[in-house]
Amino acid sequence: MKSSLIRAAIVAAALSSPVAAIASPVKPYVEIMGPSYHTIRTTSTGFTYNNANPGIGLGVDLDNNVSVGVGVYRNSFYKTTAYVEAEWVPLHLGRFGLGAGAGLATGYEGYVPLGRYLTPVAGLIMTADINQSARLKMRVLPMSGMVTGKGGVGAVFNLSLDIFI
């Protein structure tokens, strides 16, 4: 677990430092991980996914459309996951946003085809601003057919709170 966090922090620093240096002003936030929903709740082998995914992350909005972050949470396989991500949300309609995110995560070894140490992850991002300092976020991610015996998607719900420095 400790080495996973260290790897995720190194990747996050490498990805975010050059970009953050040229972006102005950046807006840091804390992300609180919440529940998830799986369209396929039980695998063909009888495994039931974890729908309670507590965790915490730190992120930076580099502008109105781009953010980077790093964090840790309990994943759908009941394992600890450290992650680093970048999100791009270019479409905005009032309080709502739509975009995509991609990153790397630990804790999926043996569950997804590319899950040796760092598993690539990507999906759809939907946001809803509650007010100027709080945002709800839903990530929709494809579920591996290798695990489920079928396709499917998972939705993860998070709350982002701005950090005032």
Instruction: Give pLDDT < 70 ranges for the chain.
Output: 1-24, 112-116, 143-156, 164-165
Bin 159: left if φ > 0, else alpha if -120 < ψ < 50, else beta.
Answer: beta
Q: What is the pLDDT of residues 74-85, one digit of tens each?
A: 988 899 999 999
Looking up residue 122, the CATH number of its domain turns out to be 2.40.160.20
Residue length of the chain? 165
**Can you tell me whether residue 14 is helix, strand or coil?**
helix
Residue 33, beta-bridge partner list? 55, 158
DSSP structural state of residue 95: T
Question: DSSP class of residue 10?
Answer: H
In the numeric block, the tokens 């290798």 are attached to 146
Alpha-carbon distances of 160 from 12, 30, 88, 102, rounded to whole Å? 18, 6, 15, 18
CA distance 90 to 87: 10
Q: How many domains does the chain have?
A: 1
Q: What is the pTM of this model?
A: 0.75
What is the reported pLDDT for 20? 43
Rounded (10°) CA dihedral 157, 132, 122, 155? 20
Distance CA 16, CA 22 (A): 10
Domain that holds residue 82: 2-162
Q: Give the 3-state secondary structure of residue 115.
A: coil
CB-based contact 104:112 (threshold 8 Å):
no
pLDDT of residue 113: 64
Which pLDDT score, from 0 to 100, does residue 71 have?
95
Note the pLDDT of residue 18.
46
